[in-house]
Amino acid sequence: MLSHTISKSISLVTILLAPQAFYITTKAQNCGCSSELCCSQFGFCGNTSDYCGVGCQQGPCFAPPPANGVSVAEIVTQDFFNGIISQAASSCAGNSFYSRGAFLEALDSYSRFGRVGSTDDSRREIAAFFAHVTHETGHFCYIEEIDGASKDYCDENSTQYPCNPNKGYYGRGPIQLSWNFNYGPAGTAIGFDGLNAPETVATDPVISFKTALWYWTNRVQPVLSQGFGATIRAINGALECDGANTATVQARVRYYTDYCRQLGVDPGNNLTC
């Protein structure tokens, strides 16, 4: 885990959302839905937005809203990026790993990131993403979870994504991707061997950013319209929301409101959870 407040959220992408996603997947790995039903991103059959919306694999999937004409690269300027990473200590491993160039290269594979809704919506999404990344990595200081190799992040019930006993699935990258049932599907979607080479997330900066964008677009982007507080709940709800850790919630909100200020957009309502 990372130190102090950062450690509270390192494995959250798996503690909350991923277990739920995993259990759905194992119930219907092969989908095989009837023609009138959608196969969800987790391999389950249904006809609501949970099945036919984001990540729908087949069937009468809902068409996503059209992307707007916003240029994310023009918003995430070098000065904006430097304003984050410059706050990391010079000894941080992330200084020579994370870069705006790697982020923009990864972004080529996620054309809907920061491009849904109005221009203000785009700026709020970008501010939210970097607020969480700042909190998770300590201003891009950390690439890997501190002492992560000593921890067991293998869920043996995840038969669709079996663990390699010689590999560790601890937190890595901007979102600190964790657990075999996240590394497996992330690797499949991105194009690396997440189960047999999870360390790729800590050695290839473009793939590292892709894992963050993959998780974001599939798990967080769908709740953006509910306010920044909903994104906290999507990422670390059990450990922070409903009074569980108000200090870390407020830390995330401070980053978010600061980045909204820098990007010239109102942060909106419902900031906490």
SS3 39: strand
- Given the residues 105, 125, 136, 199, select the one marked as catalytic: 136
Determine which helix (DSSP H) or strand (DSSP E) holds 255, and give its type and residue range: helix 246-263
- For every residue of 43-104, DSSP letters joined together read S-EESSHHHHSTT--BSSPPPPPPB----HHHHS-HHHHHHHHTTS-TT-GGGGT--HHHHH
The answer to whether 136 is a known catalytic residue is yes
Contacts of 136 (CB under 8 A, 6+ apart): 2, 6, 9, 10, 174, 175, 176
What is the 3-class SS of 160-201, one letter each residue? Answer: CCCCCCCCCCCCECCCCECCHHHHHHHHHHHCCCCCCCCCHH
Kindly list the catalytic residues. 136
